[in-house]
A and B are shown apart, each in its own frame.
Chain A
Amino acid sequence: MNYSSIWAAAVILRKDIRTELRSRHGVSVLVLFGVTATMVISFALGIPETDEVVAAALLWIILFFLSVAGLGYSFLREEEQMTMDGLLMAASVEGVYLGKALFNLLLLMVAQGAVLPLFILVFNLQIGPWARFLTAMFLGSCGLSAACTLVAALISRTQAKGPLLAVLAFPILFPLLIAASADTAAALLGGAGDSIQVLVLYPGVVGAFALLLVKFIWEE
């Protein structure tokens, strides 16, 4: 990691935002998935006598599947359009990973901007301390993006694509999902969660592993 990698990451992030604004491939998948899943769950449960623990778990299940459905495109599109080698010629692999991870984080936050209000509305949730709730959402999204971006890079190098991302990402995301839903449930109940250290450390640890390993992925 050095200055030029961070610079390249910023350039790639800007490029991805620009192409996303023109095509809206990524956002539409994430938002559509989140909204559909929320509506189906809400319909199936009827007028909810809300259990905060269940709501938090459902929310993170939705966010997990939304991530594995949408974040795989980051590298897949570059490989399919045959632009990945161009990026590798121009910038360090670490820079490419970082740029893609930041873009995926942004995608997740935009999707949550649409899904969270709907979720809170249909489940009639009372958010206790908003700061805690939003912190859990943000740190959880950082973790989802850090792990899914590396797995997406791995999968872009294989023949079979689709559902593999969920299979490979699940065991790695498992502790994060548990900690995030515990903390979200605590915030909904009005208290403080006890898993905040996991949420803070997870993106750092997983991101560091990813930055160490990403150079092997394209090394032929």
Chain B
Amino acid sequence: MRTRLLLDNVGHGYGRGFLFRNLSVELRPGSAAVIAGANGTGKTTLLRILAGLLTPREGSVMYYRDTDPLPLAVVRPRLGFVTPDINLYPELTARENLSLACALRGVRTTADVDSWLGRLGLDGVENDLVGSFSLGMRQRLKYACSLAYRPEVLILDEPCSHLDEEGRRIVAELVLRQREEGVVVIATNDPREVQWGELLIHLGSCSHPAEGY
């Protein structure tokens, strides 16, 4: 895992103003960044930009493998993105959701699937439809679906929403393991989760506040 991530003077906003501007950061393998800031300061927007779902109005986000820039089409399937804005399929079972996430990326996982479900404490419900899951169980399954194909960069929005203490402990462990070799970016305001990263990006101090949002 050698993918690193470079933000060069990134700025974005809606309407005339900017939510954030002149954001330049380099994230190397083995690092974790926390994005903090009040509601409406652009945390989710910044994560969508990192995930390649949104093009920033200014600047650029580039992923590099060693020194070679990676095109978006190549890098996007290798990102893990856990966010309240992306749901699982309620008509599919836990196992089917997980296999789907891997199959779409051309990753073969036959024995792996159950071990990932087991690590997130979802053993016993592998063949239940996700429509019958509680929010906490869905959140756990999202982690399984985003980690099973071994992403090099993990992007987390509100990582522990709906999770109980047990779930929180599992996620903390996963984040720790991911940042041993890869990159983790977390958007949160929870002081316990802020501890997970060594780099803190604080949004909301932009000198060009959004107007007419």
**Which A residues lie at the B interface, using CB under 8 A?**
4, 7-8, 11-12, 15, 18-19, 22-23, 81-83, 85-92, 218-220
Q: Are A87 and B104 in contact (CB under 8 A)?
A: yes
Sample 24 A-B pairs with CB under 8 A, ordered by A number: A4-B106, A11-B100, A12-B104, A18-B92, A18-B96, A19-B91, A22-B129, A23-B91, A81-B89, A83-B87, A85-B53, A85-B85, A86-B88, A86-B101, A88-B76, A89-B51, A89-B52, A89-B53, A89-B79, A89-B81, A90-B101, A90-B104, A91-B104, A220-B53
Q: Are A15 and B100 in contact (CB under 8 A)?
A: yes
In the complex, chain B residues whose CB is within 8 Å of the CB of A82: 85-87
**Cα–Cα distance between A83 and B84 once the two chains are bound (Å):** 11
Assuming A18-B96, A82-B85, A89-B79, what are 19 further A-B pairs, CB within 8 angstroms?
Answer: A11-B104, A15-B100, A18-B91, A19-B91, A19-B92, A22-B91, A82-B87, A83-B87, A83-B89, A86-B87, A87-B104, A88-B76, A89-B51, A89-B53, A89-B76, A89-B81, A90-B104, A91-B77, A91-B104
**What are the interface flags for B23-43 relative to A under an 8 Å C-beta threshold, 1 for contact and 0 otherwise?**
000000000000000000000
Interface majority SS (helix, strand, loop, mixed), chain B: loop
Q: Are A89 and B103 in contact (CB under 8 A)?
A: no
Q: Are A89 and B77 in contact (CB under 8 A)?
A: yes
In the complex, chain A residues whose CB is within 8 Å of the CB of B76: 88-90
**Cα–Cα distance between A83 and B87 once the two chains are bound (Å):** 5
Q: Are B55 and A15 in contact (CB under 8 A)?
A: no
Q: Are A19 and B53 in contact (CB under 8 A)?
A: no
In the complex, chain A residues whose CB is within 8 Å of the CB of B16: none
In the complex, chain B residues whose CB is within 8 Å of the CB of A22: 91, 129
Flag whether B54 is at the interface (Cβ < 8 A). Answer: yes
**Cα–Cα distance between A90 and B101 once the two chains are bound (Å):** 7
**Distance to closest chain A CB from B151 (angstroms):** 10
In the complex, chain B residues whose CB is within 8 Å of the CB of A12: 104
Flag whether B105 is at the interface (Cβ < 8 A). Answer: yes
In the complex, chain A residues whose CB is within 8 Å of the CB of B105: 90-91
**What are the interface flags for B123-163 relative to A under an 8 Å C-beta threshold, 1 for contact and 0 otherwise?**
00000010000000000000000000000000000000000
**Cα–Cα distance between A15 and B91 once the two chains are bound (Å):** 10
Q: Are B86 and A220 in contact (CB under 8 A)?
A: no
**Cα–Cα distance between A4 and B87 once the two chains are bound (Å):** 23
**Cα–Cα distance between A12 and B105 once the two chains are bound (Å):** 11
**Cα–Cα distance between A88 and B101 once the two chains are bound (Å):** 11
Given the known interface contacts A23-B91, A89-B51, A220-B55, the answer about A83 and B86 at a Cβ–Cβ threshold of 8 Å is yes
Across the A-B interface, the 8 shortest Cβ-Cβ residue pairs: A90-B104, A19-B91, A82-B87, A86-B86, A11-B103, A22-B91, A85-B86, A91-B104
State which of A83, A89, A90 has its C-beta within 8 Å of the C-beta of B88.
A83
In the complex, chain A residues whose CB is within 8 Å of the CB of B85: 82, 85
State which of A88, A91, A92 has its C-beta within 8 Å of the C-beta of B53.
A88
Closest to B81 in A: A89
In the complex, chain B residues whose CB is within 8 Å of the CB of A8: 104, 106
Flag whether B118 is at the interface (Cβ < 8 A). Answer: no
In the complex, chain A residues whose CB is within 8 Å of the CB of B111: none
Q: Which of B88, B89, B104, B129: most chain A CB closer than 10 A?
A: B104
B30-80 contacts to A, CB under 8 A, are 51-55, 73, 76-77, 79
